[in-house]
């Protein structure tokens, strides 16, 4: 096996696949990348048995072959080479040589046959989604996923395929984030799948936006995303996601409209004096005004007043300030609407012009 290409062309696919490789391994070959040359196409594969990433690029001076190369070492070497370097990688017996200018590195390899292949996808559904829309859905919801929750089905992101739309939903039991995008071609059947946390973060890193479409293949146990230069496959979480529609507050008729950036800045300032453990702030709402109050065990207090379009009078409700800030950061419009019912009910935070993106935040007793 032999191929040659510039450092920058090699670095992009390397960065895409090296993130999948875990630093601690159960099998030695999982610390390596499967590197394969066929014709003038180079493909590199990394996996941790849960998530698999295959990146492809064109190469010159190519001789077909396949082997596995230590992932982190190869990435660090290529990253440390000077810009514009021409990199030649060639295999002889059980060693691979990386050459660039006067630099030469020899790395140990393991046979390509030892590299584990992801199980075949038992295809259930195939849809095409604009890459920018999928990227936005994940960015607006992924922050609300649980981390290492015993309710394992919360440690991931729900993809809810509907006839005319795709929804992403995440919740950790204290807050919920939902975002929806139209599916021009639609899905054949309604299908819900839960993508695990690592798969979500890798997919988020991979998506670039723009006008092109990506293909999503949904299997019984896997999700696969295909783009010309990369194929991403992740196992799915086998579990039942909560009925998220039941969590979205109904009858929250008290409406507060505020400038998103003004409210965000005020909450950030008030948070400085909130209780470090509970991160609680109280919202006191009166006509035309939203007041934010925070206290801590040292008897210190922060007060912020924000102009608001509201007729609500005398409503006081506590929240974890981090959850409110996360929700506001995921929204994009200048003005947001907070829908409330009473001091003991969840709040619904959304953009003023539509309900495509919604955030539910549970109240905190202060």
SS3 111: coil
CATH number of 123-245: 3.10.150.10
Q: Is 80 exceeded by the pLDDT of residue 119?
A: no
Of the listed ranges 21-30, 66-75, 149-158, 284-293, the least confidently predicted one is 21-30
CATH architecture, domain defined by 2-114 = Roll (3.10)
Q: Residues near 124 by Cβ (< 8 Å), separated by ≥ 6?
A: 191, 218, 219, 220
Look at the alpha carbons of 93, 95, 96, 97 in this order and tell me if their dihedral is positive or negative.
negative
Where are the chain's structural domains? 2-114, 123-245, 248-361
Q: Is 90 exceeded by the pLDDT of residue 236?
A: yes
Q: Using 50, 70 and 90 to split pLDDT, how confident is the model at 99?
A: very high
Which pLDDT value is given to residue 39?
92
Which pLDDT value is given to residue 327?
97
The chain-wide mean pLDDT, for the chain, equals 95
Rounded to 5, what percent of the chain is helix, strand, coil? 20, 45, 35
Q: Using 50, 70 and 90 to split pLDDT, how confident is the model at 53?
A: very high
CA distance 311 to 255: 8
Kindly state the helix (H) or strand (E) to which residue 187 belongs, with its residue range: none
Is 230:205 a contact under the CB 8 Å cutoff? Answer: no
Average pLDDT (348-354) is 96
CA distance 247 to 361: 10
SS3 311: coil
What share of the chain has pLDDT > 70, as a percent?
A: 100
CA distance 63 to 53: 23
Average pLDDT (63-68) is 96
Which pLDDT value is given to residue 24?
87
Is 114:29 a contact under the CB 8 Å cutoff? Answer: yes
Which pLDDT value is given to residue 217?
95
Q: Using 50, 70 and 90 to split pLDDT, how confident is the model at 103?
A: very high
| Residues 15, 16, 18, 21, Cα dihedral to 10° | 160
Equal CATH topology for 2-114 and 248-361 = yes
Which pLDDT value is given to residue 40?
92
Which pLDDT value is given to residue 163?
87
Q: Is 90 exceeded by the pLDDT of residue 7?
A: yes
Look at the alpha carbons of 121, 125, 128, 133 in this order and tell me if their dihedral is positive or negative.
negative
pTM for the model: 0.92
Topology (CATH level 3) of domain 248-361: DNA Polymerase III; Chain A, domain 2 (3.10.150)
Average pLDDT (123-135) is 93
In tens, the pLDDT along 263-292 reads 999 999 999 999 999 999 999 999 999 999
Q: Name the DSSP letter for residue 133.
A: H
Of the listed ranges 182-191, 280-289, 310-319, the least confidently predicted one is 182-191
Q: Is 90 exceeded by the pLDDT of residue 122?
A: no
């Amino acid at each position: 096996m032999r191929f040659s290409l510039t450092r920058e062309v090699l670095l992009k696919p390397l960065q895409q696949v090296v993130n999948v490789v875990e630093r601690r391994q159960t099998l030695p070959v999982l610390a390596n990348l499967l590197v394969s040359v066929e014709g003038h196409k180079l493909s590199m594969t990394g996996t941790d048995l849960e998530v698999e990433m295959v990146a492809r690029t064109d190469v010159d001076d190519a001789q077909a072959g396949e082997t596995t190369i230590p992932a982190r070492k190869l990435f660090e070497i290529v990253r440390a080479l000077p810009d514009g370097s021409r990199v030649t990688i060639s295999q002889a017996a059980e060693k691979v040589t990386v050459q660039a200018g006067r630099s030469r590195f020899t790395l140990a390899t393991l046979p390509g046959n030892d590299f584990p292949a992801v199980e075949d996808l038992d295809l259930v559904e195939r849809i095409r989604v604009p890459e920018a829309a999928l990227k936005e859905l994940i960015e607006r919801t992924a922050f609300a996923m649980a981390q290492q929750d015993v309710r394992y089905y919360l440690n991931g992101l729900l993809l809810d395929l509907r006839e005319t739309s795709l929804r992403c939903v995440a919740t950790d039991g204290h807050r919920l984030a939902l975002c929806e995008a139209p599916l021009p071609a639609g899905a054949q059947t309604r299908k819900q799948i839960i993508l695990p946390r690592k798969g979500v973060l890798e997919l988020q890193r991979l998506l670039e936006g723009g006008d092109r479409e990506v293909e999503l293949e949904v299997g019984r146990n896997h999700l696969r995303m295909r783009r010309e230069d990369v194929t991403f496959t992740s196992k799915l979480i086998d579990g039942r996601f909560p009925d998220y529609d039941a969590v979205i507050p109904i009858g929250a008729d008290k409406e507060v409209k505020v400038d998103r950036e003004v409210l965000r800045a005020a909450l950030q300032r008030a948070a400085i004096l909130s209780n470090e453990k509970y991160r609680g702030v109280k919202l006191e709402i009166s006509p035309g005004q939203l007041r934010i109050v925070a206290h801590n065990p040292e008897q210190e207090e922060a007060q912020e007043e924000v102009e608001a379009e509201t007729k609500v009078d005398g409503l006081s409700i506590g929240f974890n300030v981090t959850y409110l800030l996360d929700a506001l950061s995921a929204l994009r419009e200048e003005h947001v609407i907070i829908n409330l019912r009473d001091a003991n009910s969840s709040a619904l935070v959304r953009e003023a012009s539509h309900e495509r993106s919604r955030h539910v935040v549970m109240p905190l007793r202060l």
